[in-house]
A and B are shown apart, each in its own frame.
Chain A
Amino acid sequence: MKNKLSRFAVPYVVWMAIFVVAPIVIMVIYAFTSQNGGFSFENFVKMGDYAEVFLRSFEMAIIATVICLLIGYPVSYLMSREGPGFQRTGMVLIMLPMWMNFLLRTYSWITILDNNGLLNQLFQKIGLIALYNNITGSDVTYFHMMNTPGAVVLGMVYNYLPFMILPIYSVIIKLDHSLLEAARDLGANSVTVFRKVILPLSLPGVLSGITMVFVPSVSTFAISQMLGGGTDLLLGDLIERQFLGGAYNPQLGAAISLVMMIIVVVCMIVMNRFGEGEEQAVMM
């Protein structure tokens, strides 16, 4: 029985060999090729100049992921406690924004955050800016929000929040209610039930969510270009530049991608180990 079902995976394994593994191999070959052809470590030597970009990207992606988790978990949890009609509508509403292209949605944030944008106009109208000037004695006509790291993180959270909510929600909603009842019968209060039962059981969803938010955040380039003003590069910007931007050098781009990929994969493996440990602990 088991073996029969596992045969279902054979076509996909072949597919992966061609369309997942082979391209990576080609990329690795590129990474170790100099611009004039021929084997070299040139690209990796050059990369030292960009350590700051690596740090900045990972820092921003981690912040965005944590914020997504802090917003996404409560929302998923609260959602799961609502009535079925509310739940269905809520989930639809969370998926719906993604049907508009992300470039456009991000573009729209510029209209909101700009120095002369809708939010600053609102602050002006309700007197918030005047109030701020009165208190601090400063003389600003707007709050500077665009082209800041904050705006980029906001863009990441905005774009990827649904990726955090969906997996967590779909795990929580599947939880066995008798477990919760059992915990309550055994004298646990709501907090304890949440901490000892719901939270550990929803961990697989949380891990999926973190993966789905962190990975696109660390590699984004459109968001940082649009909301960050292109002054401080992120990894995605740097790679895009080597392939399509003003600094054509696919070999260097491949090398940077490779290093980034390895760091991300290592992080994920560590995290998944940690996740599995938790799960087993719960089962015991």
Chain B
Amino acid sequence: MKTKPTNRLGDRILMGLVFLFLYAPIFILIIFSFNSGVSSSVWKGFSLHWYNELIHNRLIMTSVYTTLLVSLLATVIATVAGTFAAIGFYSMRRKRRDALMAVNNIPMMNADIVTGVSLCLLFVVFFNGWGAFAGWINSIQSVVTLPTKLSLGFGTMLIAHVCFNIPYVILAVGPKLRQMDRNLIDAAQDLGCTWMQAFWKVVIPEIKPGIVSGALTAFTMSVDDFIISYFTAGSRTSTLAMTIYGMTKKRVSPQINAVSTLLFVTVLILLVIINIRESSMQKRVEKGKNRVAVVKEPSRTVRVLRRVAAGALALALLVTLIVTGRAANSRPEVNVCSWGEYIDEELITRFEEETGIAVHYQTVESNEALYSLIEMGGADFDVIVPSDYMIARLIEEDMLAELDYDNIPNFQLIDNQYKNLNYDPENKYTVPYAWGTLGIIYNTTMVDEEIDSWDAMFDPKYAGQVLMINNSRDALAAALLDLGYSINTTDEAELRQAFQRLRDAKNAGVYQGFVMDQVFQKMEGSNAAIAMYYAGDYLSMLENNEDLAFVVPKEGSNWFVDAMCVLKTAQHKQEAEAWINFIASTESNLANMDFIWYASPNYEALEQYPAYYEELYEEELDEEIYAIMAPGEDVLERCEIYENLPQETLQLYNDLWNQLGV
């Protein structure tokens, strides 16, 4: 379309603004990948530190590989299947086509969550059925042994990706087919084509732009997807998005910025090359037109070469798939599930080198998420690291296996204070991992007084400045403590009163937000004055903002213990116990303590940490910091540990929590 040149400038400005809108956040991401500090809002100087770290971060590297592999395979499968399906649909009578298209559109109209959950349910139902079937087959004959336990993994995730990709391909190809002149096919056949030839020579070229855009959309959807993968990948496979999500539980490491930057730049370079090639080809074509209008077909050798290259690529993909599948099967392994950034990852490597056991390390967002994952039967974790109250619930519901403490000699190093706690009174199921306290973090430059009470979390004086924690147990605990009740109360009136306190504060505009992970960025960047969070995380924040202070309020608080336990369904119990023993050792605890800033339950490690710190950083550990990390008796005696609540109280928590958001 030709247009008057006067409009051009205005058009370009509009488009420029849209591009600015699309790219501003990305440039910020890229810039902060070169930040020498860990924060994503405070610039501390240029450094390539995070790129260096990235290379050694196996978790991220594996997830990048998984993401690319699943996206590529799903795109290829979905594009082929979707194109054929679209052609099939558009050759049908309208009524039938409309009915099928309605079904086809379901995955797109559904929330990703719904697609994910319903697929997960389907797989689990199928696996249960298969388990029974395989057991029956194995019992009546002994020639072949079928595996009885299938679990979610790469395969199920791939199916899910294909599932949500196909509709996008159909949606892209459909309009092209609709616009295509149907008579073209008849014409081709009249001219002597078989219908197969007509298909390849007429239909496909006509709808090619649709196929290409469909494939591109499918690939980007796959790369961008998080929710569906999350529900269908199981415990062993993790895409980049899932890794990021696990991290956002605590903090997005700038390593993620670095990996995104690298991916982005790679894609950019690739596309630029393609573009330059295409436009130079076009120029050549145009030049050719001036002389003789002949477009040279690519020569035979080029075509053969292309096919060989494509074949080699496909073969390489297949081989990697098989090899990685084999590699995973041949070694002893253990599936560990914990929180994001809750371990010094060198420990994983060290454990693998020492024992030859491969560790599949997964992270999950919260205790509740962990519970749901296990409850839905989609996960095959061996070792999990839940918090006290969740452990009690898991024990009560008979989901944990008793440990053989003969295989865990390092259990002796655990301080008696952390043994036989109320969640595991006889200590048959758990080995403590770390502990800490819940408290109030505040910015001393933004608050005039010294905060020492939970009142601060509900005070309209601080409207718009307070960050409430985004989980029902901790949030209601703050209100309960403020009202002078126990955090383990089962009294409905008390709980409703606490809920009212929260709701009043929320309606008065006290809360800037309900957050978990964002608390780091908000507090470090002085975007909020007051927040409630965990002591260890406060110490991480302190590294980036010295104005922050932490207090365990005078009304008391929660002190929590996260402990390692083994699930009843675990397939690698021995390896799991080896892992637990390794993590419980003094060296591991020291390394972990230094990395995550949470206190260790290992008395040797706890005692040695100040010396360890001094040796490592050549400066003394601030006593105040150590006191926050591992508070003394004076603080702990006003703290309570969470107990598991009866079913109806849990239900009440759920209902109140849902209503708070309405």
- Asked whether A16 and B25 contact (CB < 8 A) given A8-B87, A27-B121, A246-B366, the answer is no
Q: Is B150 interfacial (CB-CB < 8 Å)?
A: no
Closest-by-CB residue of B relative to A154 is: B21
* B110 in contact with A257 (CB, 8 Å): yes
Binds A, one of B485-493, B512-520, B547-555, B615-623: B512-520
Interfacial residues of chain A within 33-81, with CB under 8 A of chain B in the complex: 35, 49-50, 52-53, 71, 74-75, 78-81
A241–chain B nearest beta-carbon distance, Å: 7
Contact of A81 among B11, B117, B179, B376 (CB under 8 A): B11
Determine whether A84 belongs to the interface, using a CB cutoff of 8 Å to chain B. Answer: yes
The answer to whether B658 touches A241 (Cβ under 8 A) is: yes
From B18, B195, B371, contact of A4 by CB (8 A): B195
Q: Which of B217-225, B346-354, B405-413 contacts A (4 or more CB under 8 A)?
A: B217-225
CA separation between A248 and B248, bound complex, in Å? Answer: 21
- Say whether B121 contacts A247, CB under 8 Å: no
Bound: A98/B218 CA distance, A = 11
With beta carbons under 8 angstroms apart, the residue of A102, A229, A237 that contacts B512 is A229
Of the candidates A6, A20, A35, A74, the one whose C-beta lies within 8 Å of that of B106 is: A20
| Contact indicator A117/B661 (Cβ below 8 Å) | no
In the bound complex, CA of A265 to CA of B105 (Å): 9
Chain B residues, CB < 8 A from A237: 661
State the CA gap A268–B227 with chains docked (Å).
23
Least CB distance, A179 to chain B, in whole angstroms: 11
Is the CB of B84 closer than 8 A to any CB of chain A? yes
Say yes or no: A264 contacts B109, CB within 8 Å.
yes
| Chain A interfacial residues counted at CB < 8 A | 124
Interface-side segment among B239-247, B313-321, B576-584: B239-247
B521 located at the interface, meaning its Cβ lies under 8 Å from any Cβ of chain A in the complex: yes
Identify which of B85, B209, B263, B521 contacts A9 (C-beta below 8 A): B85
CB-based contact A13/B100 at 8 Å: yes
A215 part of interface (Cβ distance < 8 Å):
yes
B365 contacts chain A at the CB level, 8 A cutoff: yes
Whether A153 is near chain B, meaning CB under 8 Å from some CB there, is no
Tell me the minimal C-beta distance from B168 to chain A in angstroms. 8
Contact of B29 among A21, A95, A105, A222 (CB under 8 A): A105
Taking the complex as formed, is B611 at the interface, i.e. its CB lies under 8 A from any CB of chain A?
A: no
B365 touches A146 (CB 8 A): no
Residues of B within 8 A of A257 (CB): 110-111, 113-114, 117
Complex CA gap A53/B220 in Å reads 30
Tell me if B14 counts as interface (CB < 8 A to partner A): yes
Residue of A nearest to B84 (CB): A8
In the bound complex, residues from chain B placing their C-beta under 8 Å from that of A107 are: 40, 248, 252
* Residue in B85, B163, B217, B661 whose beta carbon sits within 8 Å of that of A230 in the complex: B661
Q: How far is the CA of A109 from the CA of B25 in the complex (A)?
A: 6
**B376: chain A residues within 8 A (beta carbon):** 243, 250
Give chain A interface residues in 221-257, CB to chain B under 8 Å: 221-222, 225-226, 228-233, 235-241, 243-250, 253-254, 257
Choose among A1, A35, A52, A248 the residue that contacts B372 (Cβ–Cβ < 8 A): A248
A180–B368 touching, CB < 8 Å: no
Determine which of A20, A111, A171, A248 lies in contact with B107 in the assembled complex, contact meaning CB atoms within 8 Å: A20
B192 to chain A, nearest CB (A): 14
Answer whether A95 and B220 are a contact pair too, CB < 8 Å, given A12-B85, A114-B522, A250-B376: yes
As a 0/1 sequence over residues 340 to 380 of chain B, the CB contacts with chain A under 8 angstroms (1 = contact) are 00000000000000000000000001101101110110000
In the complex, are the beta carbons of B518 and A15 less than 8 A apart? Answer: no
For chain B, residues 115 to 166, give those with C-beta under 8 angstroms from any C-beta of chain A. 115, 117-119, 121-122, 125, 159, 163, 166
Query: B100 to A23, Cβ gap below 8 A?
Result: no
Known contacts A167-B175, A248-B368; A114/B525 CB under 8 A: yes
Question: Does A5 belong to the interface (CB within 8 Å)?
Answer: yes
Contacts known (A50-B662, A230-B513); A88 close to B275, Cβ less than 8 A = yes
Contact partners of B28 in chain A: CB under 8 A: 108, 111-112, 118
Does B22 belong to the interface (CB within 8 Å)?
A: yes
**A183 interface contact, C-beta 8 A:** no
Contact of A27 among B24, B81, B91, B114 (CB under 8 A): B114
A111: chain B residues at CB < 8 Å are 25, 28, 32, 40-41, 521
Q: How far is the CA of A216 from the CA of B113 in the complex (A)?
A: 10
Contact-residue bracket for chain B: 35 or more
Asked if B256 and A248 sit within 8 Å, CB to CB, the answer is no
User: Which of B326-334, B432-440, B470-478, B595-603 is the interface stretch?
Assistant: B470-478
Q: Interface digits, B517-545 against A, CB 8 Å rule (1 contact, 0 not)? A: 01001100111100000000000000000
Q: Look across to chain A and name the residue whose beta carbon is closest to the beta carbon of B23.
A: A97
A166 to B268, CA, bound (A): 19
Residues of B within 8 A of A182 (CB): none
Q: Is A156 an interface residue (CB 8 A)?
A: no
Tell yes or no: B185 within 8 A of A by CB: yes
CB atoms of B368 and A244 under 8 A apart: yes
A28 to B369, CA, bound (A): 22
Q: Which residues of B contact A167 (CB under 8 A)?
A: 171-172, 175
Residue of A nearest to B39 (CB): A111
What CA separation (Å) do A108 and B32 show in the bound complex? 10
**Chain B residues closer than 8 Å to A117, beta-carbon distance:** 41, 525, 527
Query: A83 CB to closest chain B CB, in angstroms?
Result: 10
- Residues of chain A contacted by B85 (CB below 8 angstroms): 8-9, 11-12
Verify A229–B513 contact, CB threshold 8 A.
yes
Shortest C-beta distance, B620 to chain A (Å), equals 32
Contact among A6, A174, A211, A231 with B91 in the assembled complex (CB-CB below 8 Å):
A6
Tell which of A89, A177, A244 touches B369, judged by Cβ atoms closer than 8 Å: A244
Contact between B163 and A20, CB atoms less than 8 A apart: yes
Q: Does B166 lie within 8 Å of A12, measured CB to CB? A: yes
In the complex, A56→B289 CA distance in Å?
58
What's the least CB distance linking B483 to chain A, in Å? 21
Q: Are A219 and B113 in contact (CB under 8 A)?
A: yes
Q: Which of B103, B260, B518 has the most CB of A within 10 A?
A: B518
Q: Which residues of chain A come closer than 8 Å to B29, judged between CB atoms?
A: 100, 104-105, 108
Bound Cα distance A180, B210 (Å): 23
Q: Could you say which residues of chain B place their CB within 8 Å of the CB of A3?
A: 91
Are B661's CB and A104's CB within 8 A? no
Q: In chain B, residues 1-38, which have Cβ atoms closer than 8 Å to a Cβ of chain A?
A: 1, 3, 11, 14-15, 18-19, 21-26, 28-29, 32
- B244/A81 in contact, CB under 8 A: no
Q: Which residues of A contact B113 (CB under 8 A)?
A: 219, 221, 236, 239-240, 243, 257
- A158 adjacent to chain B (CB < 8 Å): yes
A5-B87, A246-B368 are contacts. A23–B119 as well, Cβ < 8 Å?
A: yes
Q: Which of A27, A97, A235 contacts B118 (CB 8 A)?
A: A27
CA distance A106 to B257 in the complex (A): 13
* Interface contact B654-A97, CB-CB below 8 Å: no
**Bound CA span A7–B88, Å:** 6
A144 within 8 A of B: yes
**13 A-B pairs in the complex with CB atoms less than 8 angstroms apart:** A8-B87, A26-B118, A26-B121, A26-B122, A30-B121, A75-B18, A101-B260, A108-B26, A158-B25, A170-B210, A222-B227, A241-B657, A249-B654
Known: A8-B91, A246-B470. 11 other contacts (CB 8 A): A5-B88, A19-B163, A50-B662, A82-B11, A85-B279, A229-B511, A229-B512, A230-B470, A241-B658, A243-B117, A253-B117
Q: Which 8 A-B pairs have the closest CB atoms?
A: A229-B513, A9-B88, A219-B111, A23-B118, A233-B661, A230-B514, A8-B88, A5-B91
